[in-house]
Amino acid sequence: MWHIESSARDENTLLVNESLFTLANGYLGVRGTFEEGYKENFKSIRGTYINAFYDITDINYGESAYGFPKTQQKLLNVIDAGGLEVYLDDERVTVFSDQVTYFKRLLHLDKGYSERIIKYKTKLGKQATITFKRLVSFDSKELFAINVDIQYQGNVKIISTVSADVTNFVDSHDPRVNHGEHQFLNVTHFKHKNDTSIITCKTKRSNLLVTCTSHDVYNKECESTVETTKDHIIKTYEFSGDVTFNKYNIYTDSRRHKDTIENGLSILNQVKTKSFDDLLHSQHLYMSTFWKYGDIVIEGDDALQQGLRFNLYQLLQSVGKDECSNIAAKGLTGEGYEGHYFWDTEIYIFPVFLMINPTIAKNLLMYRYSILEEARGRAKELGHSKGALFPWRTIAGTECSAYFPAGTAQYHINADIAYSFIKYFVTTNDLEFIEHYGLEVLVETARVYLDMGFFDKGSFKLNAVTGPDEYTAIVNNNYYTNAMAKYNMKWAVRIYRLLENHNSRYLGALKDRLSLTTEEITAIEEAANHMYLPIDEELNINPQDDTFLSKEIWNFKETPDAHYPLLLHYHPLTIYRYQVCKQADTVLAHFLLEDEQPLDVIKDSYEYYEQVTTHDSSLSSCVFSIMASKIGDMDKAYNYFIETSRLDLDNTHKNTKDGLHMANMGGTWMSIVYGFAGLRLKFDGVHLAPKIPKQLNGYSFYVNYKNSVLRVTVNHEQLEIVLEEGTDVAITLYGEEINVSLQQKYIKTIERDD
């Protein structure tokens, strides 16, 4: 299944489809709205977004306190260049008309473009076929291109618009969506000449510029007129008979471009000589390269296969590919969570690109390094004399979370980021990167844990934190936070000592710059070695925190289905008083750091927390799927997996209209690779322990490890490992080491739990 399709024209489905049919390239994203617009009374979130292009808004508190962030950044809906209206003999074409005899739209996952086909019978009885194609280029990141092919024997009029009259979407009933100011752009430059329109806007407070340079290309002579208003350029073209019309829109912003107008014109001059077919060809080549080692094949379920490929495609479209951008919780598909970057990137999305495109993974780490200075400033605001505390949610580096119990208190963000730096090093052996960037991040994040923690009865403890489970806040010794902090601190010491032997000169310069002493390194090591990891001997589980098990269990039986997610129906204090989890917390720690606990503790913890977890967060089911595979319950592993695979395609959380769930999409990939196949990347190499649910016939995927590419194929009879590229790879398979050589197949009978 290499495409998704829809023939829906009802309002609710259209809003969801706007997200599903988004086109993007990591820099620029355009929601899947119709060029010609909707009915007058139909809602639409008509959005065009540039990754990391933001304005600043005030955070208004009824009661504020020291260290509360006063402002936040907000991803902006920028200039709309997608407008194209079509008239046939002065009759406006709309897909909502009874004159439409056929309608279908498709998103081609293998070719990187969308297509919309309309067959229309005019009131005069004439037949027309109109095909819209659009793409957001992976080769020229600033380009959003539209192609319209009209087959009609009569007069054809096309109205092409560029509009700066844009606002951000507002939903006052949902805290996950913007509910404040919604208009942020002022027009500063306005010009039209020779079928080229230019509009430049400036943000109100961040003083960023965005320019849209739009150029129309058509294949036959026509009559044309131009009308301008204070924020619109409206171009009208009239043709006779069949016509092909292209619209090339170039978006430049001042975060990446020195002169947005001149750079926009220069890029336009490069791309406007290319036909739309040329652009489609380049797009197809890019996607073919991505899918060569990015595809996961599922045998036995076409719907799951479609869901997997759709999720990977949308991750590729939304992930930032430069140092000033990352990947937002909703990517470039909508305005949910206001375009902010969270820990989702490191724990759920980074692992995907680490395996299939390490260059993109490295860029994600470089973004975090680029905001290290802001993180140092935030640590000082929180009372830490040294170190860096990364923001819970941000775009440009400063904290944007207004609710500290479920935001700033999530100190695990530091260890999450450090974890990704470590996994990148373990997987790529990129020593130069870890020297110049990684160690600094590891030390600065570890310093915060050293500063906030304390020794109590021989154990090192961390108080007043919130773990991944946002239904439990401000607790002492959250297991996840403590375990991840321990890993962060241990690796800071390990890399420090590695550089002592490998590059003492660079290490000396870094120590001087950070005022880092050997005594401090020793103190970090001592704290890590004595980190307190709570254990309940009677239940044989790791308590989520010091008080979690002492609380009353939430009354799930009496909670109506309509009251989920709980966060929309109960005050936070009500939720905090009970044993109830929004998402995996301790179970997630057992996945990421499985060597910290024996399997029986992991299993008993899984079974305990499964009973009190609502999965109100889309980040949860994939983790339970992975750990169900770990403990050998493949039926549960499969059931949790299918909840993740089509979450957006089937709109199971009922909020896909606000943007796609990027972390869940990464989690779908992880459910197979880390779950079914048991992949772990450790200091001693690649570990695999493949299993297969009875509901599937087979699956296969690729692993990129130290520039060697492995293909792993699993069915009910055997598993096969092939080294596609690179040098020999040693793998720990079911606990035994094997060696895989180039162009040789390693085949083994699959191990079954039954």
> Active-site residues: which are they?
470
545 neighbors 412 (Cβ within 8 angstroms): no
- Going by their DSSP bridges, the two strands 729-733 and 685-688 should be labelled as parallel
* 235 marked as binding residue: no
Strand partners, 116: 105, 132
109 neighbors 130 (Cβ within 8 angstroms): no
Number of neighbouring beta carbons within 10 Å of residue 216: 21
Cα angle value 467/472/478 (rounded, 5°): 40
540 neighbors 600 (Cβ within 8 angstroms): yes
Alpha-carbon gap, residue 713 to 198, rounded angstroms: 51
Alpha-carbon gap, residue 313 to 705, rounded angstroms: 22
Long-range contacts of 93-97 (CB under 8 A, 24+ apart): 93/36, 93/118, 93/120, 93/128, 93/130, 94/36, 94/39, 95/9, 95/34, 95/36, 96/9, 96/38, 96/39
Alpha-carbon gap, residue 208 to 205, rounded angstroms: 8
Alpha-carbon gap, residue 136 to 141, rounded angstroms: 7
Who's near 566: CB < 8 A, 6+ residues apart? 471, 559, 575, 580, 582, 614, 616
Dig out the tokens for 689 from the structure: 């322990």
One-letter-per-residue 3-state SS of 240-273: ECCEEEEEEEEEEECCCCCCHHHHHHHHHHHHCC
* 604 marked as binding residue: no
Q: Which residue has the tokens 């060809």?
A: 281
Nearest to 703 by CA among 750, 670, 734, 735: 670
Who's near 611: CB < 8 A, 6+ residues apart? 553
* 583 marked as binding residue: yes
* 73 marked as binding residue: no
Cα angle value 180/182/187 (rounded, 5°): 150
- Going by their DSSP bridges, the two strands 91-92 and 718-725 should be labelled as unpaired
Q: Is 302 left (phi over 0), alpha (psi -120 to 50) or beta?
A: alpha
Alpha-carbon gap, residue 136 to 134, rounded angstroms: 7
Alpha-carbon gap, residue 357 to 628, rounded angstroms: 27
Number of neighbouring beta carbons within 10 Å of residue 282: 17
Distances (CA, A) of 358 to 286, 292, 729: 16, 14, 17
Q: At what angle do helices 479-502 and 504-514 cross, to 10 degrees?
A: 130
The one-letter amino acid code at 32 reads G
- Going by their DSSP bridges, the two strands 454-456 and 708-715 should be labelled as unpaired
- 565 prior amide bond cis, ω within 30: yes
Alpha helices in 453-595 (DSSP H): 479-502, 504-514, 518-529, 572-576, 586-592
Who's near 208: CB < 8 A, 6+ residues apart? 53, 54, 55, 202, 253, 254, 255
Strand partners, 126: none
424 neighbors 443 (Cβ within 8 angstroms): no
Residues belonging to the binding site are: 343-344, 582-583
Residues belonging to the binding site for substrate are: 343-344, 582-583
